[in-house]
């Protein structure tokens, strides 16, 4: 496994009524962007279902200049009906993101959680919320089953 130092959360920049997932995003990345594969490792649908994109041992295509030692999670949604950034994620998505965080924190305890917008070369609002603040609010528990 490659070393993971940062975990980036992205949004699909889709409106609340768009119920897309990994297949649509894969098509956008490959046909629309000309990439060889989907850029994200996990996709969280509006229903909260967690879909797999890239295997964790594969380098993503998600933050220009910072893909080698990072993972990417994409939350479906993130813009309003007018195309403006909007933290419009469902309760189910927040629950799935928290579960994903617990899982990745156990695998990569030193990894920093960031939003795409936090990268110095990113000029966007993605994922439409403060990931570092959200991550800090999540209590990490080493007890219990997972």
User: Which residues are identified as catalytic?
Assistant: 10, 40, 116, 124, 126
The count of other CB atoms within 10 Å of the CB of residue 140 is 10
Q: Strand 70-75 relative to strand 6-11: parallel, antiparallel, unpaired?
A: parallel
Give the residue from 22, 1, 18, 13 showing the smallest Cα distance to 122: 13
CB 146 within 8 A of CB 127: no
């Amino acid at each position: 496994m490659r070393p993971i130092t940062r975990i980036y959360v992205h949004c699909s920049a889709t409106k609340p009524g768009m119920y897309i997932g990994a297949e649509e995003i894969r098509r956008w990345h490959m046909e629309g962007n000309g990439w060889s594969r989907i850029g994200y490792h996990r996709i969280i649908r509006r229903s909260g279902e967690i879909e797999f994109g890239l295997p964790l041992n594969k380098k993503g295509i998600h933050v220009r200049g910072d893909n080698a030692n990072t993972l990417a999670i994409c939350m479906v949604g993130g813009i309003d009906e007018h195309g403006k950034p909007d933290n419009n994620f469902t309760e189910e998505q927040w629950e799935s993101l928290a579960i994903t965080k617990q899982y990745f924190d156990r695998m990569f305890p030193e990894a920093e959680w960031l939003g795409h917008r936090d990268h110095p070369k990113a000029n966007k609002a993605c994922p439409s919320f403060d990931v570092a603040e959200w991550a800090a609010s999540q209590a990490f528990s080493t007890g219990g089953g997972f």
